[in-house]
């Protein structure tokens, strides 16, 4: 099966759930075979997008973003894979000093989770992502958050899988965000991979090269610095919670340069971007702007 189920979600140590652990001899494979590793790195740029909010216009805001993720996934029983890792994401926005929008939103978090085969046809992933989610100014315990991602996959057959997931974040204006997805290989070279956060329509050009029409949804919640509002003349924004949302569509190419290495590049339009200080009822919205993104995925 050629599957890409990268985005149904994640976790808790198995012991907390009392998952059935197999006998010590359940796995005869060497440690190298029973441990999977994932490395994902990405870098992108979004062109200047007119951004308005709070009754004003803060001008054209461009964005640089980067992310890096590493996950170690040992299989501990025939039905359970643990997931441990770390992730870093940073978005830098070209906003004027006086604008009440953070110039940096950044997260550095751990990944703790597991994959579990519930039945012949159902798989579960749970993943907790405790870490710091803020503008990384005046970092304190207030900046610590731990969103939980839980997803299940229904394996109808080799060509069709359904996904159901929820993102739980008590600090967000939307504490629970549900999602439904599908991966359907409907023709020899075509796969509809509608799985959040990066749904795609994929076309295999050859064994190594794939073209895709993609969308991307980014949702995260951050806390502003303790003096962020003071700097903007709005003390109510000091350590305020901010929901960040961005949606993109684009066209891209995915190239398997090595059996375990994939390089992707896509370009298109960021359709919408929103900075929502929901407690203060202050929202800034960006108009569409072009973007480019490159990413590299390693699987060992």
Partner 1 sequence: MSIAKPRPGGTSSCTQPRVQQTQLLLAARGQASKFLLLSLLVGYAATAGFALPNPVESLKRFSAFRSVDSARLVDGEILGERGSLMDFPQGITAQTCFVLPVTAAEAAQRLQTWDPSPHEALNVLAFSPIGLPCQGADFASLDLRSSNHALRWLLDKSFAATTGKSELNLTRDEARQLADCAKGNPAPQAVSACWAKLLLQRVALFQRQGFAAVPPYETSGKTISPADQLQAMLREKTAMTHEFAPLLMQSGVLGREPAPTLTPFYYWGLCEANRHGTLYLGAAYLLPLDDRYQILKAQYYVSGTYYTSVTLFQVWPIQVGEKSGALVWRGDFYAAPSLALTRGIDRLATGAIMLQELKKAIRCFQADVIAKRLTRN
Which residues contact partner 1 by CB under 8 A? Answer: 1-3, 5, 26-30, 33-34, 36-38, 73, 75, 78-79, 81, 115, 117, 120-121, 123, 125, 153, 155, 157-158, 161, 185, 188, 207, 259-260, 299-300
Nearer to partner 1 among residue 27 and residue 245 (C-beta): 27
Nearer to partner 1 among residue 4 and residue 90 (C-beta): 4
Nearer to partner 1 among residue 186 and residue 235 (C-beta): 186
Nearer to partner 1 among residue 123 and residue 282 (C-beta): 123
Structure tokens at 277: 């200080």
- Shortest reach from residue 190's CB to partner 1, in Å: 11
- Shortest reach from residue 207's CB to partner 1, in Å: 7
- Shortest reach from residue 131's CB to partner 1, in Å: 22
Q: Can you tell me which residue has the tokens 């202050």?
A: 282
- Shortest reach from residue 36's CB to partner 1, in Å: 4
Nearer to partner 1 among residue 63 and residue 204 (C-beta): 204
Phi, psi of 299 (to 5 degrees): -130, 120
- Shortest reach from residue 85's CB to partner 1, in Å: 12
Nearer to partner 1 among residue 77 and residue 103 (C-beta): 77
């Amino acid at each position: 099966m050629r599957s890409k189920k990268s985005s149904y979600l994640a976790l808790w140590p198995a012991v907390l759930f009392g998952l059935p652990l197999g006998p010590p001899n359940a796995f005869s494979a060497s440690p190298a075979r029973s441990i999977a590793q994932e490395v994902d790195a990405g870098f992108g740029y979004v062109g200047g997008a007119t951004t308005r909010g709070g009754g004003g216009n803060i001008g054209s805001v461009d964005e640089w973003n980067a992310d890096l993720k590493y996950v170690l996934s040992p299989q501990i029983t025939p039905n359970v894979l643990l997931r441990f890792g770390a992730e870093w994401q940073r978005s830098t926005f070209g906003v004027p000093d006086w604008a009440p929008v953070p110039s940096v939103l950044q997260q550095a978090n751990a990944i703790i989770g597991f994959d579990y085969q519930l039945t012949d046809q159902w798989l579960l992933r749970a993943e907790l992502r405790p870490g710091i989610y803020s503008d990384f100014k005046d970092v304190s315990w207030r900046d610590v958050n731990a969103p939980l991602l839980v997803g299940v996959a229904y394996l109808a057959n080799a060509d069709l899988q359904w996904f159901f997931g929820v993102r739980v974040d008590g600090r967000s204006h939307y504490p629970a965000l549900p999602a439904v997805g599908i991966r359907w290989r409907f023709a020899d070279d075509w796969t509809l991979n509608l799985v959040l956060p990066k749904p795609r329509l994929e076309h295999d050009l050859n064994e190594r090269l794939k073209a895709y029409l993609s969308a991307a949804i980014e949702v995260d919640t951050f806390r502003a610095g303790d003096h962020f509002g003071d700097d903007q003349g709005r003390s109510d924004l000091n350590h305020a919670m901010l929901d960040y949302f961005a949606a993109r569509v684009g066209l891209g190419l995915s190239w398997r340069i090595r059996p375990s290495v994939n390089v992707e590049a896509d370009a298109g339009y960021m359709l919408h971007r929103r900075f929502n200080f929901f407690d203060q009822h202050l929202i800034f919205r960006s108009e569409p702007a072009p973007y480019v993104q490159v990413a590299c995925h390693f699987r060992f």
